[in-house]
Chain A
Amino acid sequence: MAMTTYRVTLANREDATFEVEGRRPLLESLREQGVDLPYGCKYGGCITCAAKLTEGIVNQRRQVALNKRQINAGYVILCVARPMTDITLEIGVDSHGDLYRNPFLDPPKHHEPKAGIAEQRLDDGP
Chain B
Amino acid sequence: MESCGPGYASPADAIKAPRETLLYTIAIYTGTGIQKPDYLATVDVDPESPTYSQVIHRLEMPGIGDELHHMGWNACSSCFGDAGMSRKYLLLPGVRSNNIHVVDTATNPRAPRLHKVIEGAEIRAKTNLSGPHTVHCLGSEIIISMLGDAKGEAPGGYLLLNNEFEIVGRWESSMGDIKFGYDFWYQPRHNVMFSSEWAAPNTFMPGFDLEEVGHLKYGRELHIWDFERREPVESFYLGEDGLLPLEVKFHHDPDSTHGFCGAALSSNVIHWWKDDVGNWQWEKVIDVDNEPHPEWPIPVPGVMSAILVSMDDKYLYLNNWLHGDMRQYDISDPHAPVLTGQVWMGGLLGKAPEVNGVKMAGGPQMFQLSLDGRRLYVTTSLFSTWDNQFYPEIRERGGVMVMIDCDPENGGMTLNPDFVVNFGKEPNGPSRCHETRYPGGDCTSDIWL
Task: Indicate if A32 sits at the interface (CB-CB under 8 A).
Answer: no
- CB–CB A99/B207 < 8 A: yes
Q: What chain A residues lie within 8 Å of B151 (beta carbons)?
A: 45, 64
Docked-complex contact A117 and B243, CB < 8 angstroms: yes
B406 to chain A, nearest CB (A): 29
| Cα distance A69–B298 in the bound complex, in angstroms | 20
B210–A118 CB distance below 8 A: no
Bits for B205-230, please: 1 = Cβ < 8 Å to A, else 0.
11111111111100010000000000
Which of A48, A69, A100, A116 makes the CB contact (< 8 A) with B389? A100
Which of A47, A94, A120 contacts B385 (CB under 8 A)?
A47
**Are B214's CB and A117's CB within 8 A?**
yes
Give the distance to chain A from B381, nearest Cβ to Cβ, in Å. 15
Tell me, yes or no, whether B64 is within 8 Å of chain A by CB. Answer: yes
Whether B206 lies near A103 (C-beta < 8 A) is: no
Minimum CB distance partner of B241 in chain A: A115
Are A102 and B389 touching (Cβ within 8 A)?
yes
Is A65 on the interface with B (CB-CB < 8 A)?
A: yes
Residues of A within 8 A of B31 (CB): 38, 48, 93
In the complex the two chains form, is A115's CB within 8 Å of B33's CB? Answer: no
Instruction: Give complex CA distance A114, B214 in Å.
Output: 11
B30 at the interface (CB under 8 A from A): yes
Residue A84, interface by CB 8 Å: no
Per the 8 Å Cβ criterion, residues 65-122 of A in contact with B are: 65-67, 69-70, 92-94, 96, 99-105, 107-108, 111, 113-121
B293 interfacial by beta-carbon distance below 8 Å: yes
Q: Among A48, A101, A111, point to the contact of B65 (Cβ < 8 A).
A: A48
The answer, yes or no, to whether A41 is at the interface (CB within 8 Å) is: yes
Pairwise interchain contact A47-B205, C-beta atoms closer than 8 A: yes
Tell me whether A45 and B152 are in contact in the complex, defined as CB-CB below 8 angstroms, given that A40-B65, A64-B202 are known contacts: yes
With contact pairs A104-B293, A114-B266 given, residues A46 and B239 touching in the complex (Cβ less than 8 Å): no
- Does B109 sit at the interface, judged by CB under 8 A? no
Partner of A46, one of B96, B209, B212: B96
Residues in B with CB closer than 8 Å to A46 are 65, 67, 95-96, 201, 205
Given known A38-B35, A38-B65, A114-B301, contact A48–B96 (CB-CB < 8 A) = yes
Q: Are A118 and B214 in contact (CB under 8 A)?
A: yes
A40 B67 Cβ-Cβ under 8 A: yes
Contact status B216-A39, CB under 8 Å:
no
Q: What is the chain B residue whose CB lies nearest that of A115? A: B240
Whether, in the assembled complex, A36 has its beta carbon less than 8 Å from a beta carbon of chain B, the answer is: yes
Q: Which residues of B contact A93 (CB under 8 A)?
A: 31-33, 388, 395
A100 touches B388 (CB 8 A): yes
Partner of A70, one of B206, B210, B220, B266: B206
Once A47-B206, A117-B240 are accepted as A-B contacts, the answer to whether A41 and B97 lie under 8 Å apart by CB is yes
Give which listed residue, B66, B202, B296, B395, contacts A65 with CB less than 8 A: B202
**Complex: how many Å from CA A120 to CA B67?**
35
> Given B240, B267, B296, which contacts A118 in the complex, CB threshold below 8 Å?
B240
Q: Is B290 an interface residue (CB 8 A)?
A: yes
Contacts of A92 in B (CB 8 A): 33
Task: Known A-B contacts: A64-B152, A107-B298. Give 4 more (CB < 8 A).
Answer: A38-B33, A40-B94, A45-B152, A48-B31
Interface residues in chain A, defined as those with a beta carbon under 8 Å from any beta carbon in chain B: 36, 38-41, 45-48, 64-67, 69-70, 92-94, 96, 99-105, 107-108, 111, 113-121
Instruction: List 25 contacting pairs A-B, 8 Å CB cutoff, sorted by A.
Output: A40-B96, A45-B130, A46-B96, A46-B201, A47-B207, A67-B206, A93-B388, A99-B388, A100-B207, A100-B389, A101-B209, A103-B209, A104-B300, A105-B295, A105-B296, A105-B297, A108-B211, A111-B210, A113-B290, A113-B300, A114-B290, A115-B266, A117-B243, A118-B214, A118-B220
